[in-house]
Amino acid sequence: MIEQQRGPEIGSGAGTGWMARLLSAKAPPSVILIRLIVGGVFLSEGIQKFLFPDALGVGRFVKIGIPWPEVMAPFVGVFEIGCGAFLILGLLTRLAAIPMIIDMIVAIATTKVPFLREHGFWAAAHEARVDFCMFFGSIFLLFVGAGRISFDGLLLRTARKRGNGTTIDSG
Split into its structural domains, the chain has a count of: 1
Residue 142 in any domain: the answer is yes
> CA-to-CA distance for 101 and 84, rounded, in angstroms?
12
What does the pLDDT look like over 106-150, one tens digit per residue?
Answer: 999 999 999 999 999 999 999 999 999 999 999 999 999 998 899
Residue 15 in any domain: the answer is no
| Of 61, 154, 62, residue with least CA distance to 103 | 61
Residue 2 in any domain: the answer is no
Residue 7 in any domain: the answer is no
Residue 128 in any domain: the answer is yes
Residue 36 in any domain: the answer is yes
Residue 171 in any domain: the answer is no
What does the pLDDT look like over 22-72, one tens digit per residue?
Answer: 777 778 889 999 999 999 999 999 999 999 999 999 999 999 999 999 999
Q: What is the 3-state secondary structure (H, E, C) of 18-48?
A: HHHHHHCCCCCCCHHHHHHHHHHHHHHHHHH
Give the domain extent around 103: 22-161
Residue 5 in any domain: the answer is no
Model pTM score: 0.82
